[in-house]
Structure 1
């Protein structure tokens, strides 16, 4: 009994809680498999790492504040032929996050931009990167409040910590007059240090209108596009597709969004 208590104490101090909590069943399994001492030690270590990874991912998903669960497996690539599955699989590796690059997902409403943003964010969490998801409206609201309250520096520091910051729905709602300058400070703070993923229904050529300041928009894009990938999704809205099939709505004549070069 003393030995068991001492072992439990040492496993707790070493934070080997997976081994501690399942010790009897793990030792029984190792015995049934007739593992050598070295094999049993490897087996125990693997179980500990597996639980830690699961807890890390669970906590990372919670801190990311994703609005819902979306996966790459659930994305309908056949319905959006303008999206290259190979490029998305490469992005899922997380290398672009490790290299502090930006990713812009552009396209009309309903084509899957947010789905891809959440799915790629979840992939980044699983690969050990910290992620934070915010709508553009929520982000600008936080920045404006921090600026008004005199805490802008603290807020910028907080928003600079996640390795990947996802900003969803830029351009859908009008921004405050000071928004462009606050957004620029955030982009400049993260430039070449950590990644930003932005979804927008507006091509980058219209971001001067989005921010109401062409000069600030140019400065923002200068940093975002320096090390970046831009994916423009041309396609029909998932949400309206069934309505159009039933004849309730007609497909718009042109549902494309221009590329950064204006094509």
Structure 2
């Protein structure tokens, strides 16, 4: 009993970055009820810190809406070979710094999936950031004009998961395309990027305004990436009041 309580104190304290030798000494000194109290306190402190970390990550992620996979409609997705729903929900693709392209028809759940992936990553204490392609370009442009582009890129690089939503919804000028390419280039093999788009790869040249730049982006994305294709009628149309 005493040894088990001492082990709990040490394990909990180590998670709080406390010194192992001091924890072990005080665990031996205390009576069983004292050590049990100490272990309970340290475990509660760890749980509190972990909850605060998850909340901070979710706030920093800046999701436009709080989404989850509860009730998500999976039937419209065509999965690539060797990758399915369980792989997605396990976030195993983050471990390999793999990318995902969610491509397909409007209103079929691409953005919902991307938002829910960000929320899930934050719940598991894995940093994530969410942007539309246009908002990311505007953010980068402001940072460059203010002389802090390198700092902004470093902050983006700290996320394990980076979502670029609505790629191709709004055209990019040459300057914006170069900035977005810089993000994708720096993310290559260092973090996972999830794109949502309604455009097949052959039309990405129209997004970047340059076929060579689009080809360079696609080359990086497909190397360690997977394509999830979405088909079917828009969820919003199916549930619209105007039907």
TM over 0.5: yes
Measured against aligned partners, the alpha-carbon deviations of 1:22-49 in whole angstroms (never above 9, x if no partner) come to xxxxxxxxxxxxx855544443333222
1:184 match? 181
1:173 match? 170
2:141 match? 144
Measured against aligned partners, the alpha-carbon deviations of 1:97-144 in whole angstroms (never above 9, x if no partner) come to 122111111111111111100111111112221111111110111223
Moved more, 101-110 or 41-50: 41-50
Unaligned regions of 5+ residues in structure 2, if any? 1-15, 17-31
TM-score, normalization by structure 1: 0.73
1:113-128 correspondence to structure 2 within 5 Å: 113-128=110-125
Q: Kindly indicate whether the alpha-carbon contact (under 8 Å) linking 1:111 and 1:236 is maintained by their aligned counterparts in 2.
A: yes
Q: Kindly indicate whether the alpha-carbon contact (under 8 Å) linking 2:77 and 2:228 is maintained by their aligned counterparts in 1.
A: no
1:1-263 correspondence to structure 2 within 5 Å: 36-78=33-75, 80=76, 82=78, 87-243=84-240, 248=243
Alpha carbons of structure 1 residues 36 and 239: separation in structure 2 relative to 1, 3 Å: same
Alpha carbons of structure 1 residues 45 and 77: separation in structure 2 relative to 1, 3 Å: same
Unaligned regions of 5+ residues in structure 1, if any? 1-15, 17-34, 249-263
Query: Superposition RMSD on alpha carbons, in Å?
Result: 2.6
SS at match of 1:178: helix
In structure 2, C-alpha distance between the alignment counterparts of 1:98 and 1:106, rounded to whole Å: 22
Q: Kindly indicate whether the alpha-carbon contact (under 8 Å) linking 2:167 and 2:196 is maintained by their aligned counterparts in 1.
A: yes
In structure 1, C-alpha distance between the alignment counterparts of 2:134 and 2:57, rounded to whole Å: 23
Measured against aligned partners, the alpha-carbon deviations of 1:227-260 in whole angstroms (never above 9, x if no partner) come to 112111111101001349x7x4xxxxxxxxxxxx
**How far 1:151 sits from its partner (Å)?**
4.0
SS at match of 2:150: helix
| Larger radius of gyration between Structure 1 and Structure 2 | 1
Moved more, 182-191 or 154-163: 154-163
Measured against aligned partners, the alpha-carbon deviations of 1:194-222 in whole angstroms (never above 9, x if no partner) come to 11111111112211112111100000111
In structure 1, C-alpha distance between the alignment counterparts of 2:35 and 2:84, rounded to whole Å: 42
Measured against aligned partners, the alpha-carbon deviations of 1:72-113 in whole angstroms (never above 9, x if no partner) come to 1131224x25469x8233222222112211111111111111
Alpha carbons of structure 1 residues 206 and 229: separation in structure 2 relative to 1, 3 Å: same
- The count of residues paired between Structure 1 and Structure 2 equals 213
SS at match of 2:102: strand
Q: Kindly indicate whether the alpha-carbon contact (under 8 Å) linking 2:61 and 2:129 is maintained by their aligned counterparts in 1.
A: yes
1:257 match? none
